[in-house]
């Protein structure tokens, strides 16, 4: 964080900060993929000098669905290393693990007690994740959005850079902040979602009607750590259609998704890309896309390998991140307890 925030000013609802504060989180629940990268992580990295940055590996969110304890422990480290390998710089961004800062769970409880059930009943992600298993999924899965609100509100966050799937959760966070402020007095900054026009919703390679997700089949996503040969095979198998032209046409979701990925990787306009592939077929396009992915991911994988080779250093970096954010979360929680009559 570039603008150090004192504990006293952190909990002020109208802080005078040199920079806006951003907070975002990512779950350690499987292999991070290019949807995470193109929709979220790459913006976090690119905008480190614009914002006052806090990023969190949200292990308490991951356990809303069953996790193997050993795997979870591993996934947290691997995800942290991946974020650093993508270019998150611990000098400029605080990176920490959610459960290491106990205020997240505590504020979530307090917010639970002021959040109407009706608001949670509207959350579409719960409906999708629970499916027909509503009676057997954990209460934590239902409550997931309140924990996310606590994450964001603890840091008096101005903006939340996320993919499109999190829009509704950020809206709920605003509603919770608003109603708390109205009932108990100005306490929280009302955050806004920061969602980009292109790339906020990368679709699955095997089914362009679904978003790319960690829980999909292996062939549905490109993991950030996939080796070149695996990338080549997955792209070769990716769903397209029976037409021939390589153009951005939303009515052709398979090729549209692949072209969007390519556009974000090479940073050219749609016109330039369509011109590049005019008169060419899927084979040429898929070869270029594979090359673009390999060129982006290879340096990330090299840095990742260096980082995981030194787990003690990784733990030290994560402890340092928690250390940096704790005064802010502590001040906010204390103010909330005060407002609610707990202190």
Contact footprint for ligand TRP (CB under 6 A): 23-27, 58, 61, 148, 151-152, 160, 162, 166, 169
- For residue 202, the partner it binds in ligand TRP, ligand AMP, none, with Cβ less than 5 to 8 A by kind, is ligand AMP
CB of 211 to ligand AMP, least distance (A): 4
CB of 83 to ligand AMP, least distance (A): 10
**Which one of 162, 172, 224, 307 is in contact with ligand AMP (CB under 6 A)?**
162
Residue 135 to residue 144: CA distance in whole angstroms: 16
165 binds ligand AMP (CB under 6 A): yes
Of 123-142, binders to ligand AMP (CB under 6 A) are none
- Residue 196 CB, nearest approach to ligand AMP (Å): 9
- Residue 137: exposed, middle, or buried by beta-carbon count in 10 A (0-12, 13-18, 19+)? middle
CA distance 173 to 125: 15
Listing from the earlier edge strand, what are the strands of the sheet with 52-57?
Answer: 93-97, 52-57, 21-26, 159-161, 192-194
What are the φ and ψ backbone dihedral angles of 6, each rounded to 5 degrees? Answer: -80, 160
Distance CA 204, CA 128 (A): 16
Check: CB of residue 87 under 8 Å from CB of residue 55: no
Closest distance between ligand TRP and the C-beta of residue 193, in Å? 9
Residue 79 interacting with ligand AMP (CB under 6 A): no
How far, in Å, CA of 221 to CA of 258, rounded?
12
| Catalytic machinery residues | 129, 211, 214
| Minimum CB distance to ligand AMP smaller for 38 or for 153 | 38
Query: By the 8 A CB rule, do 216 and 210 touch?
Result: yes
CA 30 to chain centre: 13
Residue 35 interface partner, choices ligand TRP, ligand AMP, none, CB cut-off 5-8 Å depending on type: ligand AMP
By CB under 6 A, what part of segment 190-209 binds ligand AMP?
Answer: 200-202
Tokens 């959040």 correspond to: 115
To the nearest 10°, report the CA torsion of 243, 247, 252, 253: 130
Given a contact cutoff of 8 angstroms between Cβ atoms, the answer to whether 213 and 24 are in contact is: no
Q: How many helices (DSSP H) and strands (DSSP E) are in the chain?
A: 15, 5
Question: Which tokens is 92 given?
Answer: 């400029």
Residue 23's binding partner among ligand AMP, ligand TRP, none (Cβ under 5 to 8 angstroms by kind) is ligand TRP
> Which 33-52 positions form the footprint of ligand AMP (CB under 6 A)?
35-36, 39-40
Q: Which does 329 bind (CB under 5 to 8 A by kind): ligand AMP, ligand TRP, none?
A: none
**C-alpha 188, offset from chain centre:** 22
Q: Binding of ligand AMP at residue 27 (CB under 6 A)?
A: yes
- Minimum CB separation of residue 322 from ligand TRP in Å reads 15
The minimum distance between CB 29 and ligand TRP, in angstroms, equals: 9
CA distance 239 to 271: 23
Residue ranges in 208-267 that form contacts with ligand AMP under rule CB under 6 A: 211-212, 214
**How many residues belong to the site for ligand AMP (CB under 6 A)?**
16
The listed partner (ligand TRP, ligand AMP, none) that binds 103, CB under 5 to 8 Å by sort, is: none
Residue nearest to ligand TRP (CB): 25
Residues near ligand AMP, by CB under 6 A: 26-27, 35-36, 39-40, 162-163, 165-166, 200-202, 211-212, 214
């Amino acid at each position: 964080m570039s603008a150090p925030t004192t504990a006293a000013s952190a909990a002020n609802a109208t802080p005078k900060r040199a920079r806006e504060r951003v907070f975002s989180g990512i779950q350690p629940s499987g292999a991070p993929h290019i949807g995470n990268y193109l929709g979220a992580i790459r913006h976090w990295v690119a905008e480190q000098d614009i914002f006052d940055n806090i990023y969190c590996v949200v292990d308490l969110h991951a356990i809303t669905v069953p996790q193997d304890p050993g795997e979870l422990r591993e996934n947290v480290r691997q995800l942290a290393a991946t974020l650093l390998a993508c270019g998150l710089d611990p000098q400029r961004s605080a990176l920490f693990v959610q459960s290491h800062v106990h205020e997240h769970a505590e504020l979530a409880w307090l917010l639970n007690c002021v959040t109407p059930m009706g608001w949670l009943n509207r959350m579409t992600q719960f409906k999708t994740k629970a499916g027909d298993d509503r009676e057997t999924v954990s209460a934590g899965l239902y409550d997931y959005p309140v924990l996310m609100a606590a994450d964001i509100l603890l840091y008096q966050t101005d903006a939340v850079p996320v993919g499109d799937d999190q829009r509704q959760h950020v809206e709920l966070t605003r509603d919770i902040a608003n109603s708390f402020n109205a009932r108990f007095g100005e306490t929280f900054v009302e955050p806004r979602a920061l969602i980009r026009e292109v790339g906020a919703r990368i679709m699955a390679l095997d089914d362009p009607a679904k978003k790319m997700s960690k829980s999909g089949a292996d062939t549905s996503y490109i993991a950030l750590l996939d080796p070149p040969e695996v990338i080549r095979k997955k792209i070769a198998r990716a769903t397209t259609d029976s037409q021939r032209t390589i153009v951005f046409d939303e009515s052709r979701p398979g090729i549209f998704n692949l072209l969007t990925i390519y556009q974000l990787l090479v940073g050219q306009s749609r016109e330039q890309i369509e011109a590049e592939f005019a008169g060419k077929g899927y084979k040429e396009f898929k070869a270029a896309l594979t090359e673009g992915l390999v060129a982006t991911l290879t340096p990330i994988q090299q840095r990742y390998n260096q980082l995981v080779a030194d787990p003690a250093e990784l733990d030290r970096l994560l402890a340092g991140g928690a250390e940096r954010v704790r005064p802010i979360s502590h001040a906010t929680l204390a103010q909330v307890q005060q407002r609610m009559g707990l202190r």
